């Protein structure tokens, strides 16, 4: 099973730019910018032991603070692409980027201009596709904990400085104490500009957050959505309208959103007929990978090779990839599956 998963061409739809920084990358960045985050791999493992979701956000922001220059952004982006492509055979990925935390418009003496940030991720994207054969696209997300100023800035980055690879507009960070309704104007403007709506919802809060994201933010996919199973009407709505759930099992356990893998609601989602995609979220911080998440899904759902192929195809279908990329990737998946089928 592990060998089959490793070779399976895959799409990753819910993975964070900074959260994908492996210990090797974090150590390199920490060495460049000594401070809170340890550069020693052993101490890094201890640093990434999360007490709860709030502590995870604290640690995440400490790593974000290491990405201070365009060179840091370019290094991180290309190396993340390398590990996705070479380590996991990811052929297409939508990386969730949070430019606000690197550009820092509220702290003009720190951070970098948005033009430099955009140039760095785009240079890495083009090089990764050329060198590694992986297609990258961007989702710009609002860090919810920073409120309306972050939303205003992120919308400006998305509309006035859009990189060529930008396809979506999201909302991350804590859900508790961050009502989704306050961001309605930002999502409306982003959607009017052609960006797809992909907020996180229902990870650490109940089904109402998902309803709000659907009704008020026009969500086309739901990041996590673990609490959807608590509301039969919501689950039926998701099934009827074929709104995908971006499921990240290990992440949900690591942040204590779910108590254990054995209690993860993924089987209930699938049994109800929901569209699910399997993703890694912040893989390096959670000690996982997309390959590992596929194996976990196979175990939770009792999947064979054909079931894993169906999961991979579902991610491509739920993606915002260009039609030619989508067709090519589906053909790659089918060609890979043919010998076993």
Digit-coded pLDDT (tens) for 189-206: 999 999 999 999 999 999
Closest among 246, 248, 254, 253 to 219, alpha carbons compared: 246
Closest among 198, 238, 187 to 222, alpha carbons compared: 198
SS3 state at 195: coil
Whether 313 has a pLDDT exceeding 80, the answer reads: yes
Whether 110 has a pLDDT exceeding 70, the answer reads: no
- Say whether 203 is catalytic: yes
Q: Mean pLDDT, to the nearest integer, of 285-298? A: 95
Q: How confident is the model at residue 283, as a pLDDT?
A: 92
- Which whole-number Å values give the CA distances from 141 to 50, 138, 153, 336, in the listed order? 23, 9, 11, 34
Q: Where are the domains of the chain?
A: 2-332
Annotated catalytic residue within 203, 246, 295, 332: 203
Whether 340 has a pLDDT exceeding 70, the answer reads: no
Rounded CA separation 209/226 (Å): 11
pLDDT grade, residue 59 (50/70/90)?
A: confident
> Which CATH number does 2-332 carry?
3.20.20.140
Rounded CA separation 218/212 (Å): 9
- Which whole-number Å values give the CA distances from 111 to 35, 99, 108, 157, 304, in the listed order? 16, 10, 7, 14, 47
Buried b (16+ CB within 10 A) or exposed e, 173-210: bbbeebebeebeebbeebeeeebbbbbbbbbbbebebb
Of 43-52, 58-67, 226-235, the poorest mean pLDDT is in 43-52
Rounded CA separation 208/187 (Å): 18
Kind plus residue range of the DSSP H or E element containing 53: helix 53-64
| DSSP string computed for 233-292 | HHHHHHHHTT--EEE-HHHHHHTTSSS-GGG-SHHHHHHHT--EEE--BSTTTTT--HHH
pLDDT grade, residue 341 (50/70/90)?
A: very low
Digit-coded pLDDT (tens) for 150-173: 999 999 999 999 999 999 999 999
Digit-coded pLDDT (tens) for 73-105: 999 999 999 999 998 999 999 999 999 988 976
Residue predicted with more confidence, 120 or 50: 120
Whether 178 has a pLDDT exceeding 90, the answer reads: yes
Q: How confident is the model at residue 108, as a pLDDT?
A: 56
Q: How confident is the model at residue 92, as a pLDDT?
A: 98
Q: Mean pLDDT, to the nearest integer, of 318-327? A: 97
Whether 339 has a pLDDT exceeding 80, the answer reads: no
What is the pTM assigned to this prediction? Answer: 0.93
Rounded CA separation 291/189 (Å): 36
Q: How confident is the model at residue 27, as a pLDDT?
A: 87
Q: Mean pLDDT, to the nearest integer, of 287-300? A: 97
Q: Mean pLDDT, to the nearest integer, of 212-219? A: 98
SS3 state at 91: strand
Summary mean pLDDT of the chain: 93
């Amino acid at each position: 099973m592990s060998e089959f998963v490793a070779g399976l061409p895959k799409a990753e739809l819910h993975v964070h730019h900074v959260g994908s920084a492996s210990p090797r990358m974090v150590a390199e960045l920490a060495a460049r910018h000594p401070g809170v985050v340890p550069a020693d791999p052993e101490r890094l493992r201890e640093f990434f032991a999360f007490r709860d979701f709030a502590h995870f956000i604290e640690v995440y922001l400490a790593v974000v603070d290491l990405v201070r220059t365009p060179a840091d952004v370019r290094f991180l982006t290309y190396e993340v692409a390398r590990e996705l492509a070479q380590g996991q055979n990811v052929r297409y990925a939508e990386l969730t980027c949070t430019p606000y935390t690197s550009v820092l418009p509220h702290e003009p003496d720190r951070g970098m201009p948005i033009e430099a940030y955009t140039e760095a991720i785009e240079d890495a994207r083009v090089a990764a596709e050329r060198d590694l054969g992986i297609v990258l696209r961007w989702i710009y997300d609002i860090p919810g904990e920073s409120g309306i100023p972050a939303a205003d800035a992120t919308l400006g980055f998305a509309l006035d400085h859009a990189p060529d690879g930008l396809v979506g507009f999201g909302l991350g960070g804590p859900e508790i104490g961050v009502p989704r309704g306050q961001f309605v104007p930002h999502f409306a403007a982003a959607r009017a500009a052609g960006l797809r709506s992909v907020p996180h919802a229902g990870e650490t809060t109940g089904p109402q957050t998902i309803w709000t994201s659907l009704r008020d933010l026009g969500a086309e996919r739901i990041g996590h959505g673990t609490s959807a199973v608590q509301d039969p009407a919501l689950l039926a709505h998701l099934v009827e309208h074929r709104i995908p759930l971006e499921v990240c099992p290990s992440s949900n356990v690591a942040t204590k959103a779910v108590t254990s893998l054995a209690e993860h609601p993924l089987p209930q989602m699938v049994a109800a007929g929901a569209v699910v995609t399997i993703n890694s979220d912040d893989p390096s911080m959670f000690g996982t990978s997309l390959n590992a998440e596929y194996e976990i899904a196979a175990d939770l759902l009792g999947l064979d090779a054909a079931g894993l192929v169906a999961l991979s195809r579902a991610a491509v279908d739920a993606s915002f990839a260009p039609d030619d990329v989508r067709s090519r990737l589906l053909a790659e998946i089918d060609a890979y599956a043919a010998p076993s089928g």
